[in-house]
């Protein structure tokens, strides 16, 4: 007697299709290439949250601060008299540009915006 191998949907590359059963309030997953069917008996949820970008990533990282000018703007954290600055358009074009500052003191490096 020969044994026949039955392939399951997990061994195939086919995806399961969500189907609504006619006349009932229940749903099921069904494979289009094999007879596999799984009735959904309870609510299934799965939440995925995207990884938030760091402020440095949005502003261009450390490389964005390499060739910027400095101005006589005191640091609110260490009171160093000078700060590097750059201006970016963060809102709509009819709004003024946002000025970002970074303290010139290497030990501080505090960042703020105006």
**Domain positions in the chain:** 12-40, 55-113
Q: Are 105 and 75 in contact (CB under 8 A)?
A: yes
Q: Above 90 in pLDDT, residue 56?
A: no
Give pLDDT, residue 31: 84
Confidence at 2, pLDDT banded by 50, 70, 90: very low
Does residue 4 carry a pLDDT above 50? no
Record the pTM: 0.49
- Is 108 assigned to a binding site? yes
**Is 78 annotated in some ligand binding site?**
yes
**What is the b/e burial string over 49-72, where b = at least 16 CB atoms within 10 angstroms of the residue's CB?**
eeeeeeeeeebeeeeebeeeeeee
Please tell me whether 31 is known to bind a ligand. yes
Does 103 show up as a binding residue in the annotation? yes
Which H or E run contains 65?
Answer: none
Provide, rounded to the nearest whole percent, the portion of the chain with pLDDT above 70.
79
**What are the start-end ranges of the H helices in 1-114?**
55-59
Average pLDDT, the chain: 79
CATH number (3.30.420.40, 3.30.70.270, 2.20.25.10, 3.90.480.20) of 55-113 reads 2.20.25.10
The verdict on whether residue 34 carries a ligand-binding annotation is yes
């Amino acid at each position: 007697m020969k044994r026949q191998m039955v392939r399951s949907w997990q061994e195939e590359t086919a995806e399961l299709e969500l189907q609504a059963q006619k006349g009932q309030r229940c749903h099921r997953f069904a494979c289009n290439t094999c007879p596999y069917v799984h009735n959904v008996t309870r609510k299934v949820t799965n939440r995925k949250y995207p990884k938030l970008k760091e402020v440095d990533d949005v502003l261009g990282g450390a490389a964005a601060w390499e060739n910027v000018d400095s101005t006589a703007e005191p640091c609110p954290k260490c009171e160093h008299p000078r700060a590097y600055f750059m201006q970016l358009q963060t809102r709509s074009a009819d709004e003024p540009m946002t000025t970002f500052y970074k303290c010139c003191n290497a030990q501080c490096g505090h960042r703020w915006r105006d």
